[in-house]
Structure 1
Amino acid sequence: MRHLLILGLLFLIGTDSDASDLSSQELLPSDPIPSYTMWMGGAKGRHAYDKAVTWLAMEKSRVKYGPYSLHTIEHRPGIERARIEAARADRFQVHISPNDEVMEESAGSLIRIKESVIKGILGYRRLIIRKADADKFKQIDSLSKLQTLSVGQGVRWPDVAVLRANNISVVQTHSIDSLFAMLNKKRFDAISLGINEAEGTLETVIAQYPDLIIEPNIVLFFPMSVYFYVNTQHPELAERLTYGIRKAKKDGSFDSLFALHFYNEIATINQSNIKFFTLKNDSMSSLDASQTPLLIQQH
């Protein structure tokens, strides 16, 4: 139902008729419609919003830049090298990601658009745990107790450096499928995922691992920014997305999309039962991010 509401919202706000946006860059009838592919490489729970915010930016720039075609390719989170090689081969033209070390390695292949697209929500983390450990997690009421746990993460995920800098033990693996299997086998105590990822991602594996749950009382926070990245072979797309996302922020449609899509997640983390832990993040993934948890009203 929420996705239908989002589509309805985007239908209402997506097409502009402001004649002042008309420019010499409009396509002539004989010009081909540009076609772009978006790399969907994050956890499954992120995909709906990533698609929606990209579509919003493209629609907000339609009058100025003309029609377009946008497709997606989904790639299960795994060996990050695949993302770098795909960018260099121009197999995708746009991607949404934190400003992590993998994206820095791709600097010669990708342009970072310096407009945050998700208001730091990826830095609010829920823990996926085994049901049998629920009582153990209820006892965690301080950072020192949190530091007695071990957390599973994907290889080179930006969380790895953050958790280790906060003296939390990390176990890494190359695929998200392996993470759930390893948690189920008690190789570590929890998996940390963004509040925009956890529920949707757990839903994809719950039939296989029915004894895993989202821990209901703990939320971690650390500063994290997320951006559009565009293949360097398509500077026109970088220009278009920059224009579109700035226009959406100016007219309020970006805020409307964010609030509608993440209403439940924001309400959940503001419940009175939540124990909130702020972690320091001095890594590159905190670039331009708010150092305070702006989505929290009760802490």
Structure 2
Amino acid sequence: MKLFVCAVLSFALYSTVAISSPAPDDSVTVVQVPHMNRASSHLQYVHALLELSLESTQQEFGEFEIRYHSTETLPERQLKGLEVGEQFSVTVSHAKERWNNAAIRVPFPLVRGLASYRLFFTTPNILPALNKVSSLKDFYQFSFGQGVGWSTSRFLQDKHFRIVYGSRYEGLFVMLTANRFDLLMRSPYELTGEHVNLSQQYPSLTYSTRTAMLTYLPMYFYVSDKQPELAARIEKGLKTAFKAGQLDALYEKYFHSSLALIHSPELRVFWINNTNITTQQYLADKPYLLPSLIKQLEPHFVSHPQH
């Protein structure tokens, strides 16, 4: 029998999802998850996947308890928490070399490569120029807002684009609408969710449905190397859920509008190489990616292997 328990603990401020156990002991795997403040629903999907992966492997690996922290932790601090192995067990990130070296990357692309489509929030005065982009070179007329530690910063830097950094997620929207930079790069699911949730607060916030960059940008679970068995358990659970079709139902629930956006016939995409990724990594992920994305990615990895 499954029991869900939510509690706020004054010393740690986290909520708990427990399975058949009133209190953790040596036979219960405790999974501590950091909190990120985002105005889109993809993290709900990620949390649902985590729970599904643990539930489907319970017979083999035993009971588990997920503790979701309720105070926000920035990505770089999440990584430090994974390295120590006491504060956090698992978190989620796009692929980054430093993360691959500091934690265990679970080799399953959580959103099936959907974040590879890079769309942009902008302001009404910039939108006409963005809609007229006809090559990657045309993007050099714009400045890009980026968060500190974002994986997308690396390939923008590699191509020598102008980048303006913001230290906080919410502050980037303030900076964009104050014309501190021109474009704020987002995944399709971030774009749709954030526009619904933030457009009233930022009435000048707009975006293009016609222009996007395309790269390969997978999102993974990263697990503390203090818990290798947990990493193996999550991987097995995810791949089992994918083969059983359980992941498809969750995916459609959370990403229906995002899929409509990327499949729009008016959307034009312009390739930019992600130097965080190797061809070997792409090929390992390929069985789990969106078929429509594979068609667009394949020429770049087959004709020009990335090392």
Question: Same fold by TM (over 0.5)?
Answer: yes
Query: Counterpart in 1 of 2:270?
Result: 277
Aligned counterparts of 1:282 and 1:231: Cα–Cα separation in 2: 24
Q: Which residue number in structure 1 is paired with residue 32 of structure 2?
A: 37
> How far 1:283 sits from its partner (Å)?
2.4
Q: Is the 8 A contact 1:272 1:298 kept in 2?
A: no
Number of the residue aligned with 1:84: 79
Aligned to 1:295: 292
Counterpart code for 1:37: Q
From 105, 122, 136, the counterpart of 1:143: 136
Do residues 264 (structure 1) and 257 (structure 2) align?
Answer: yes
Instruction: Report how many residues are paired.
Output: 269
Which residue matches 2:94? 98
Distance 2:36 2:280 in 1: 21
Deviation at 1:192, TM superposition (A): 0.1
Q: Deviations over 1:92-148 (max 9, x none)?
A: 21111122144146x1xx322222222111221110011333223222222222221
CA–CA distance in structure 2, aligned partners of residues 182 and 145 of structure 1: 22
| Residue in 2 that maps onto 1:191 | 184
Question: Matches of 1:172 and 1:287 in 2, distance apart?
Answer: 31
Aligned-pair CA distance for 1:211? 1.0
SS at match of 1:96: strand
Partner of 2:105: 112
Uncovered stretches (5+) of structure 2, i.e. residues with no partner: 1-19, 297-307
Structure 2 Cα separation of the partners of residues 285 and 141 of structure 1: 27
Q: Which amino acid in 1 is paired with 2:76?
A: R
Which of 40, 47, 64 is residue 68 of structure 1 equivalent to? Answer: 64
**Aligned counterparts of 1:286 and 1:170: Cα–Cα separation in 2:** 27
Task: Please give the residue correspondences for 1:6-17 in structure 2 after superposition, counting only pairs within 5 Å.
Answer: none
Q: CA deviation at 1:261?
A: 2.6
Say yes or no: does 1:215 pair with 2:212: no
**Structure 1 unaligned regions, length at least 5:** 1-26
* 1:293–1:36 distance in 2 versus 1, CA, 3 Å: closer
Q: Check the 8 A contact 2:223/2:231 in 1, yes or no.
A: yes
CA drift of 1:189 comes to 0.6
CA spacing shift, 1:137–1:233, aligned 2, 3 Å: same
Structure 1 counterpart of 2:168 = 175
Q: Deviation at 1:155?
A: 1.4
CA distance 1:132–1:76, change in 2 (3 Å)? farther
- CA–CA distance in structure 2, aligned partners of residues 196 and 284 of structure 1: 21
| CA shift for structure 1 position 223 | 0.8
| Contact residue 158 and residue 285 of structure 1 kept, 8 A | no
Decide which moves more: 152-161 or 86-95.
86-95
CA distance 1:77–1:150, change in 2 (3 Å):
farther
Amino acid at match of 1:91: Q
Residue of structure 2 equivalent to 1:251: 244
Conserved in 1, the CA contact under 8 Å of 2:85 and 2:225?
A: no
Q: Identify if the C-alpha distance between structure 1 residues 199 and 169 changes in structure 2 by more than 3 Å, giving closer, same or farther.
A: same
Say which of 21, 44, 48 aligns to 1:48.
44
Residue identity (%): 22
Return the alpha-carbon distance in structure 1 between the equivalents of residues 73 and 268 of structure 2.
29
| 1:296–1:227 distance in 2 versus 1, CA, 3 Å | closer
Q: Judging changes above 3 Å, is the alpha-carbon distance between structure 1 residues 158 and 31 closer, same or farther for their aligned structure 2 residues? A: closer
SS in 2 for 1:245: helix
1:131 alignment partner, SS class: coil
SS of 1:282's equivalent in the other structure is coil
Please state how far the C-alpha of 1:243 moved relative to its aligned partner: 1.7
1:285 to 1:127, Cα distance in 2 relative to 1, 3 A: farther
Give the Cα–Cα distance (whole angstroms) in 1 for the partners of residues 35 and 200 of structure 2: 23
Match in the other structure for 1:59: 55
RMSD (Å), alpha carbons: 3.0
Partner of 1:57, secondary structure, is helix
Provide Cα deviations, 1:250-275, integer angstroms capped at 9, x if missing partner.
22222343244322211211112112
What's 2:15 paired with? Answer: none
Q: 1:273 to 1:234 in 2, by over 3 A?
A: same
